[in-house]
Structure 1
């Protein structure tokens, strides 16, 4: 049955000239898109949310972070707020 699900493939290019591709179900992208967001914007949102969530977990719920990890978490939270217009805590209802 899963073979009948349409997918979309996105290319990712990094500053260090490496690249990768990710294939995801197209309907899932449509499901989480807000308004008339493009596929790339929607996946970008999910990627940033994922990094923010993971960083938050490592710093606040993991085995504790060092100064470098805490700086990385602080920066991803700034980028999150710039992109979404709300803090990670406001967006997720999870605040410390």
Structure 2
């Protein structure tokens, strides 16, 4: 197997920390322009949360008002960060 360089990133939250190790080439692949590693991982994290929330609310087995509010808010945050809606970015609109 080919030796693949990795990058380990620390994640800090209010009461905990974690680390994630990612192949460096994948970071280069998804980075936009001269984005930093942290910015790239931030983009991927927000995209992942938005995608997951969308799936649960619109394609999952039922949701409630609270979950729908969470999905609506992450979509607002998505649009603030990326300048386009989730539907525009992914081509998945309904």
Query: Given the two structures, how large is their TM-score scaled by the length of structure 1?
Result: 0.95
Query: Given the two structures, how large is their TM-score scaled by the length of structure 2?
Result: 0.97
Structure 2 residue runs of 5 or longer lacking an equivalent are none
Aligned residues: 94
Structure-2 separation of matches of 1:49 and 1:92 = 10
- Cα RMSD over matched residues? 0.8
- 1:64 deviation in Å? 1.8
What is the match of residue 39 of structure 1?
Answer: 37
Structure 1 residue runs of 5 or longer lacking an equivalent are none
Structure-2 separation of matches of 1:7 and 1:68 = 38
What is the match of residue 8 of structure 1?
Answer: 7
- Equivalent of residue 71 in structure 2, options 70, 73, 80: 73
Q: What is the correspondence of 1:80-95 to structure 2 with a 5 Å cutoff? A: 80-95=78-93
